[in-house]
Structure 1
Amino acid sequence: MNFDLSYFIELIPLLLRYLGITMQMALLGLVFALLLAVVMAVVRVFRVPLLDWLVQLYISFFRGTPLLVQLFLLYYGLPQMFPPLVGIDAFTAAVIGLSLHFSAYMAESIRAAIIGIDRSQMEAALSIGQSPLMAMRRIILPQAARIALPSLMNQFVDMIKSTSLAFTLGVAELMARAQMEASSSFKFFESFLAVALIYWVVVVLFTRLQLRLETKLNRAYQR
């Protein structure tokens, strides 16, 4: 069969209507994942008794199991064990799943960045009367953000691509629409090529944003 260029061109605007849902999932997932990751990274750096062990267990589980399995556990499995969760919708389940999964990776990236800051920074803050948490918030974390940025942005890009798994829960996002169009028209190559190009363009745009942020944050360290 020949490539249907006209169908391919007509399909792209249709798919773009669902890009907003994809990006909404990714951005919400990023916010919640970062908040959770910062807390876990600080717990690990300070080696808080019991909490440190729980965080390590959490990270091990979410890094050691596939995201698709985690989404199914969250959306189909947990409501079976906890009836109040039956009312959770697919979009919310997808955001929670993405947040939990990628927070495990982000926590390790942030922890490594914190450890990469010279200990003298913390000692200097403590010497002028700041508490360890205050020093972490005001001095250490802002510097660690610059170090962790490339890794965190790479994980965010992975999160954008991983939103495609949300269609398995029934979320009408970009990948779900491409799947429906392919099934109805039997033009699978055109449909999936179109969705692949949209994801590619989005990733390229965020990669350029990453480079600009890195340049801006590194200006203070350039001589």
Structure 2
Amino acid sequence: MMTSLFMVFDPSSSILALPFNWLSTFMGLLFIPLVFWASPSRWLMAWSKIMSILHGELKSLLTQSHAGVTLIFVSLFSLIVFNNSLGLLPYIFTSSSHLVMTLALSLPIWVTLMVFGWFKHTQHMFAHLVPQSTPSILMPFMVIIETISNVIRPFTLAVRLAANMIAGHLLVTLLSQTGPSILSNAVMIILISSQILLFLLETAVAVIQSYVFTVLSTLYTGEIN
């Protein structure tokens, strides 16, 4: 019996006190070796085309071209969209709905960018704290505001992804729990139709939030260069 609506998002499967829910995050590694020996399929060619388009878009967001940077963010997009989509399947733990997972993705990126920016582009980082054409009297306040907005970036990335994933799943859970108490066939048809539409919406959200997380991370990288 659930004592809280959010219990459905808590890891629960374990053997000998070892939680197995987080293993779904690494299930994608089982499919990667297929690329090296399986013959090209329509799915593989379509995915390669999507990754190529995404690579071109992320490369255009960077002010300078650095080899390997877009590869990192394309891989990040693949990881997030895989975990988001995997959470739509029944009885599979949605790891991207937890701040532990999303912070583990956003915080290392932000720390790396800050360390690299302040050591390699110190003058540019100081100049970024005060926008151009700012009056002298407002400069101290702008430094405080820009510093706060810069510090909360990894948390906004993590909360945005987790909140969007948990909101849709929570709504699906609430609607599904009302099914056994419905006696009217017409209401049941409406409920099933709404569940199908909500599932399609969650599928779109899984892809869109992965793209938003990746693009924002790329934009933050472009500000350092």
Same fold flag (TM > 0.5): no
TM-score (norm 2): 0.30
Going by fraction, where is helix more abundant, 1 or 2?
1
